[in-house]
Amino acid sequence: MPELPEVEGVVRALAPIAIGRTIQNVTVSDTVIKSKQLGKEAVIKGITTEDFIVDMAGMTIENVTRRSKYIYFHLMKDGNTCLLVSHLGMTGAWFTVDSVDDITEMKFRNHVHVVFTLEGGGLLVYSDIRRFGELRLLGCEADHPPLLKMAPEPFATGARKHFLEFAAMPKYARKPIKEVIMDGHVLSGCGNIYATEAIYKMKIHPERNTERISLKRKNELFDVIVAILQESIDAGGSSISDYRNINGEAGTMQDRLKMYGRKFCPACGSATESMKIAGRTSVYCPTCQK
């Protein structure tokens, strides 16, 4: 699943191409249309396909930004601003191409679900193999309250204080640390990959209760998470499974991961073990992580 650095990579690639462009029209795949007719809310959330198509036509993309793991398209039409919020789910990907046939990887080309035709030529294409991604058209962030409950950006002033305060609350303090750092209310943008790496670097067992970690060590853990997210942004994110940057480009952070997806600990050579935490497979070194 794309995490903060991967989404940042998409935003940085998309922004210079999309900003200032106006959407002429929108087409939606038969798969999404049929699924929506069955009440399944595939990809396009909170609005009918028909309304989405009508509302999006004529929108000018004023800016493209990231908030946690979401892409925000800041839009303007007839003097009114709105927000298209995109979450990539497991396998969502954006492409900027002249034709859908220009998408070279067949698995993405075969799962194109929304195509925005831009005035003056070119397409902005959303593809999603497993369709767990989301497109949500809002007047503003407050129209979808869960967005307001996200922890501050990890690089923002106040993120550390927020993390330490939330981690000390009874509802989080008694949970495993790995679950807590992956919780978007506590810390923004740290999913399974970077949580696995950060607690490995800190030599903390994924199941250790948060309250059993000292304030000093929690501070260090926060620093480690921020550093690894930044390192990954600089490397263009991790290209794992079906995640791609825009236009199918791949980042290189996966080559630097020390524990995620590993069979042996690079530090001590022990066979790694895994357990499920918060529904996600957690790989760890039983020797180094206590």
Residues of this chain that bind Zn ion (CB under 5 A): 265, 267-268, 270, 285, 287-288
Residue nearest to Zn ion (CB): 265
Is the Cβ of residue 135 or residue 265 nearer to Zn ion in the bound state? 265
Provide, rounded to whole angstroms, the least separation between the CB of residue 96 and Zn ion. 43
Provide, rounded to whole angstroms, the least separation between the CB of residue 267 and Zn ion. 5
Number of C-beta neighbours around residue 144 at 10 A: 17
> 36, 136, 178, 280: which one is catalytic?
280
278 contacts 179 by C-beta, under 8 angstroms: yes
Known catalytic membership, residue 280: yes
Known catalytic membership, residue 276: no
Is the Cβ of residue 91 or residue 289 nearer to Zn ion in the bound state? 289
> 21, 66, 69, 201: which one is catalytic?
69
Please, where are the H alpha helices in the chain? 4-18, 30-37, 49-56, 106-109, 159-168, 170-173, 177-181, 192-201, 215-234
DSSP state of 71: E
259 contacts 283 by C-beta, under 8 angstroms: yes
List all residues 6 or more positions away from 209 whose beta carbon is below 8 Å from its beta carbon: 173, 174, 175, 176, 177
49 contacts 32 by C-beta, under 8 angstroms: yes
Is the Cβ of residue 100 or residue 267 nearer to Zn ion in the bound state? 267
Provide, rounded to whole angstroms, the least separation between the CB of residue 200 and Zn ion. 8
Provide, rounded to whole angstroms, the least separation between the CB of residue 206 and Zn ion. 13
The catalytic site residues sit at: 2-3, 69, 280
